[in-house]
Homo-oligomer: A and B are copies of this chain.
Amino acid sequence: MIEAGIVGGTGYTGVELLRILARHPEVHIAAVTSRGDAGRRVDELYPSLRGHVEGRFREPLAENLAGCDVVFFATPNGTAMRMAPALLAAGVRVIDLAADFRLQDAALWQQWYGEPHACPELLAEAVYGLPERNRGCIAAARLIACPGCYPTAVQLGFLPLLEADLVDAGRLIADAKSGTSGAGRRAEIPMLLSETGESFKAYAVSGHRHLPEIRQGLERVAGNPVGLTFVPHLVPMIRGIHATLYAPWKGGEADLQDLFESRYRNEAFVDVLPAGSHPDTRNVRGSNRCQLAVQRPAGGDTVVVLAVIDNLVKGAAGQAVQNMNLMFGLAESAGLESIALYP
């Protein structure tokens, strides 16, 4: 059994990791930490876990995590970069679900996250944990930067087009919509049901932290600078991301449906829907799956890709476990086979 530790077990990605790992056939949850709730029973805070996760939250101290084979950071940005070096030195593999190791450029990181990076020397080693793009490197990695939720959906949607060089990478648009769990389990007035229920709005139009991450990922694929307009929106629902992607078609005769199906044929967690489909976030709720559709409306000069994921699963905890499976040589889908909860 793999001994797994979770730092920051009280947020939504943390509790989702617990839900997945508690049923993972090859994992034992060795430690769950929480600064604010240390000492409390895990299942007191999360009654859904009664009978599935025993024990109490502990302090996020190195000694509580040293015996782990792998430690997941489900913490706010800025935590993993302070604790990871010591863990790695102790031979523990680290999977960060936050943003600390997502950007390769420490200056860019500082610009977007507002403080100097605490261990820039690890940025080059960190592997960006998008298995559909980096599977080989992930298997060999000590340190994984799990992609953000929006970046997962947006990159999976654009990848086939950029790899095949079929669209103008200088004029991409990603209009993305997320449920409220993406904002985390934090007491904030704008996330009250009374505020976000029965309402819809965009946010961070002038610049969202996921923008440089997406651009970095797409530029690696395109091999060129990418022009991207990224507008996130808040949907009055709990789970789910829907990315609507627009790209100028360069022309030519490529069959988009074929292209997407071929690209993802061997991917367990990317599912290209039949031509003409409209993926619905409910159909991936609770599952580690991305469902995709692509079309060129009226045969025009704009390609439209629709991509849905559950932001807490393929967009966070599920993808983290998928990375862990690859790192430890397990079946990539171990612990991740559950079916979406519809309706």
A239 within 8 A of B: yes
For chain A residues 276-316, which have a beta carbon within 8 Å of chain B? 276-287, 291, 293, 295, 297-298, 300-302, 304, 306, 308, 312
Report the separation of the CA atoms of residues A52 and B51 in the bound assembly, to the nearest whole angstrom. Answer: 27
The CA of A180 and the CA of B74, in the complex, are separated in Å by: 29
Chain B residues with CB under 8 A of A199? 237, 240, 280-282, 285
CA distance A302 to B175 in the complex (A): 13
Check B200–A281 contact: CB distance below 8 A: yes
| Segment at the B interface, from A106-114, A117-125, A128-136, A188-196 | A188-196
Contacts A189-B187, A284-B48 given; indicate if A343 touches B181 (C-beta within 8 A).
yes
CB of A341, distance to nearest CB on chain B (Å): 5
Question: In the complex, what residues of B have CB within 8 A of residue A188's CB?
Answer: 187, 192
Closest to A175 in B: B175
Among A83-91, A137-145, A321-329, A332-340, the stretch that binds chain B is: A332-340
A231 lies within 8 A of chain B by Cβ: yes
With both beta carbons as reference points, the residue of chain B lying nearest to A188 in the complex is identified as B187
- Interface residue A12 (Cβ < 8 Å from any Cβ of B): yes
CA distance A242 to B206 in the complex (A): 18
Contact A306 B198 (CB under 8 A): no
Partner of A237, one of B236, B240, B248, B338: B236
Evaluate contact between B271 and A50: CB separation under 8 angstroms.
Answer: yes
Q: How many residues of A contact B (CB 8 A)?
A: 90
Known contacts A181-B343, A197-B238, A237-B200, A298 near B207 by CB under 8 Å: yes
A185 to B138, CA, bound (A): 43
Are the CB atoms of A285 and B341 closer together than 8 Å? yes
Q: Are A287 and B48 in contact (CB under 8 A)?
A: yes
CA distance A52 to B295 in the complex (A): 26
Given A48-B282, A185-B189, A341-B341; A297-B198 close (CB under 8 Å) = no
A227 CB within 8 Å of chain B: yes
Known: A185-B189, A295-B205. A200 touches B304 (CB 8 A): no
Q: Of A179, A195, A274, A306, which is in contact with the most chain B CB atoms at under 10 Å from its CB?
A: A195
Q: Does A209 contact B (CB under 8 A)?
A: no
Q: How far is the CB of A177 from chain B (nearest CB, A)?
A: 6
